[in-house]
Amino acid sequence: MAPTLRPRRSALYLPGNNARALDKGRALPADALIFDLEDAVGPDAKAESRARVCEAISTGSYQPREIVLRINGLDTEWHDADLAAAATSGADGVLVPKVERGPQVQVLAAALDALGAPASLRLWVMIETPGAFLRVEEIASASDRLAVLVIGTNDLVNELHALHVPGRATVVPALSLAVLGARAAGKVILDGVFNAIKDEDGFRAEAQQGREMGFDGKTLIHPSQIGPANEVFGPSQAELDHARKVISAYEEALAAGTSVITVDGRMIESLHVRDAQRIVALADRIAELESAS
């Protein structure tokens, strides 16, 4: 299953029981919208919210945003109906919470196949328990249908009996382990949410930390966080200019038949060229999707 290049700088949770939020999502500049049937919806509203969300997705009016349906967990009474609905909803992805082992991913992928889900429906899973963080590579490698890992920092802090602190020192080792596992399997990984909606400086600091650690983007709980997330996780103009300079120098070296490449006094290796090509391709894809909005 060949991966499709998609920016996932910002992934905004939308409560599945809030019709106003679902309607507003059509105009928001998030790269991905996660329609939430889990934490945001009480037990008595699960079935009604599932129907509302699937109806909204079926309109196709959220394009070109990536549409993901977060369903209820494997051990809940709503899981099977949620997964069946997601399989034929027209969503781009289905996000399953509290996945802890590779075999669970395989069960989910097999169930989606049996339900007739198209290959384009990608599996997303949440990494949010100590056991999951210790098995990230196993989880990420379990199925080609699995495309994205999403960190659940609130659940992790809770299960560790830790504290939420600026800089996230209490969970940095776990976050780094998750990035390592995702990269080893060649999968996308998104950082967890920032809870203080009105603290833009705090959000930016945490987003920048996530970017520096290697996350591809950040999950969000409020539309005000979209712009800063897109800025932090998107290639800056300086990064893009440097990437193009690296690619140009590489092409000139190839034409001249030399293997020695320098840019701004620094030696350039093939790994730098690959990263430069990735940055330019991502920037081009972002521009393409923004022009289609």
As a whole number of angstroms, the distance between CA 82 and CA 96 comes to: 10
Predicted confidence band of residue 290 (pLDDT cuts 50, 70, 90): confident
User: Would you say residue 9 has pLDDT above 50?
Assistant: yes
Same domain? For 171 and 104 the reply is: yes
Predicted confidence band of residue 265 (pLDDT cuts 50, 70, 90): confident
Residue 66 maps to a domain: yes
As a whole number of angstroms, the distance between CA 110 and CA 116 comes to: 10
As a whole number of angstroms, the distance between CA 149 and CA 131 comes to: 15
**Of the candidates 62, 58, 57, 53, which has an alpha carbon nearest to the alpha carbon of residue 27?**
62
As a whole number of angstroms, the distance between CA 136 and CA 258 comes to: 41
User: Would you say residue 156 has pLDDT above 80?
Assistant: yes
Same domain? For 148 and 272 the reply is: no
Q: For position 76, what pLDDT does the model report?
A: 96
Same domain? For 143 and 276 the reply is: no
What are the pLDDT digits (tens) for 192-215?
999 999 999 999 999 999 999 999
- Residue written as token pair 């429906």: 121
**What is the radius of gyration, based on Cα positions, of the chain?**
20
What are the pLDDT digits (tens) for 32-61?
999 999 988 999 999 999 999 999 999 999
What are the pLDDT digits (tens) for 253-263?
888 888 778 88
Same domain? For 76 and 208 the reply is: yes
Domain CATH number, residue 19: 3.20.20.60
Q: For position 291, what pLDDT does the model report?
A: 82
User: Would you say residue 230 has pLDDT above 80?
Assistant: yes
As a whole number of angstroms, the distance between CA 79 and CA 72 comes to: 5
Number of domains in the chain: 2
- Look up residue 265 and give its DSSP letter: T
- Considering 213, 233, 253, which residue would you say is the last residue of a domain? 233
Residue 129 structure tokens: 């328990």
Same domain? For 224 and 86 the reply is: yes
Contact 5, 282 (CB under 8 A): yes
What are the pLDDT digits (tens) for 136-151?
999 999 999 999 999 9
Residue-wise burial string across 183-198, b where 16 or more C-beta atoms lie within 10 A, e elsewhere: eebebbbbbbbbeeee
As a whole number of angstroms, the distance between CA 187 and CA 106 comes to: 16
Predicted confidence band of residue 1 (pLDDT cuts 50, 70, 90): very low
Same domain? For 97 and 128 the reply is: yes
Same domain? For 91 and 152 the reply is: yes
- Looking at the DSSP bridge assignments, the partners of residue 123 are 94, 146
Residue 76: CA atoms inside 13 Å, Cβ hemisphere, count?
18
Residue 86 structure tokens: 């997601």
Residue 1 maps to a domain: no
Q: How many CB atoms lie within 10 A of CB 24?
A: 12
Range of the domain at 146: 10-233
51 CB-near residues (< 8 Å, 6+ apart): none
- Look up residue 70 and give its DSSP letter: E
Helix, coil or strand: residue 20:
helix
- Looking at the DSSP bridge assignments, the partners of residue 190 are 150, 217
Predicted confidence band of residue 3 (pLDDT cuts 50, 70, 90): low
Helix, coil or strand: residue 53:
helix
Q: For position 208, what pLDDT does the model report?
A: 98
What are the pLDDT digits (tens) for 164-173?
999 999 999 9
Residue 224 maps to a domain: yes
In the chain, how long is the greatest CA-to-CA distance?
Answer: 69
As a whole number of angstroms, the distance between CA 285 and CA 282 comes to: 5
Residue 128 structure tokens: 């949010």
User: How large a percentage of the chain has pLDDT more than 90?
Assistant: 85
Same domain? For 227 and 265 the reply is: no
Cis peptide upstream of residue 64 (ω within 30 degrees of 0): yes
Same domain? For 198 and 102 the reply is: yes
Same domain? For 78 and 166 the reply is: yes
Residue 71 maps to a domain: yes
Residue 49 maps to a domain: yes
